[in-house]
Amino acid sequence: MSQADRIDGVIDSHCHLDFGRFDKDREEVIERARAAGVEIMINSGVDQDTNEKTLELARGHSFIYPTLGLSPSYVSRAGKNDLKALFDQIRRHAGEIKGVGEAGLDYYRCTDPAMRIRQGEVFRQAMDLALELNLPLIIHARKAEQEAFEMVRSLDKVIFHCFGGSLETMGEIVERRFYISLATTVCYSDHHRALAKHVPLESLLIETDSPFLSPRRERNEPSYLLDLVRQIARIREVSPVQVAEITARNARKAFRL
């Protein structure tokens, strides 16, 4: 990447650099992100194993911050003892982490009514834990954005990661002064471009959700966050530097960096 392509101070508010798809070149991926101007990466755990790997990754890099969580897909396969161990794990490392999550509801993958109820029960536990630890709650909600919002509206520190819900639900979320994190899907989805056009910039975070949702043909990685910065800048008719600065400021406030 040339120096002209670089935009300094960008923050990737949600990625999974601990995942196996980065095992062969993780440090090179991190170096490319830093070279592109990604100053900070928030790495999110989704189960006990990835939570541990997230902590190790953050301990080895001063610019990577961890959040520990449990994805809805983990809830579907975890037993009662597994969930207790995971919540104990989060409590144990509360002083190291910047948020609880991702956690939430995934009605896209889960169509079984009983399992959806269980997702909600475990999500409430994650909500209670975030409140107990005074940490932001990072929400995974897919085809369940409105339901998730209704559950968390009484909280103070909430981030809707990789938001893809309706404009109406987004309006309620930002009115409640929660954060909307938009992913690199904005680069290729008309619906997500509409979200990017209408979200108040003071409520916006940006993310790659690496290794998923690539704006290019290959695996996603944090350096591609610059594609999103430029896309939002075009949509909002502002400079990429402004998008980078505003979203970085929001991320610092949201995660208390």
- 169-189 pLDDT per residue, tens: 999 999 999 999 999 999 999
Rounded to 5°, angle at Cα 56 from 50 and 59: 140
Question: Where does residue 39 rank: exposed (0-12), middle (13-18), buried (19+ CB within 10 A)?
Answer: middle
Q: What is the pLDDT of residue 221?
A: 98
Amino acid identity of 194? Answer: A
Which residues lie across from 181 on neighbouring strands?
205
What is the set of domains in the chain, with CATH numbers? Answer: 3-255 (3.20.20.140)
The percent of residues above 70 in pLDDT, for the chain, comes to 98
How many angstroms separate the CA atoms of 5 and 202, rounded? 25
Q: Which residue has the tokens 């981030």?
A: 159
Report pLDDT digits (tens) over 90-135.
999 999 999 999 999 999 888 889 999 999 999 999 999 999 999 9
Question: Cβ(189)–Cβ(195) under 8 Å?
Answer: no
Dist CA 30 CA 239 (whole Å):
25
> How confident is the model at residue 76, as a pLDDT?
84
% of the chain with per-residue pLDDT over 90: 94
Strands 100-106 vs 64-67: parallel, antiparallel or unpaired: unpaired
SS3 of residue 65 by DSSP = strand
> pTM for this one?
0.96
Start-to-end CA span in the chain (Å) = 27
Burial environment of residue 73 by CB neighbours within 10 A (0 to 12, 13 to 18, 19 or more): middle
Tell me if residue 208 falls in helix, strand or coil. Answer: coil
Q: Give the pLDDT band (50/70/90) at residue 2.
A: low
**Please, what is the average pLDDT of the chain?**
96
Residue 1 has pLDDT above 70, yes or no: no
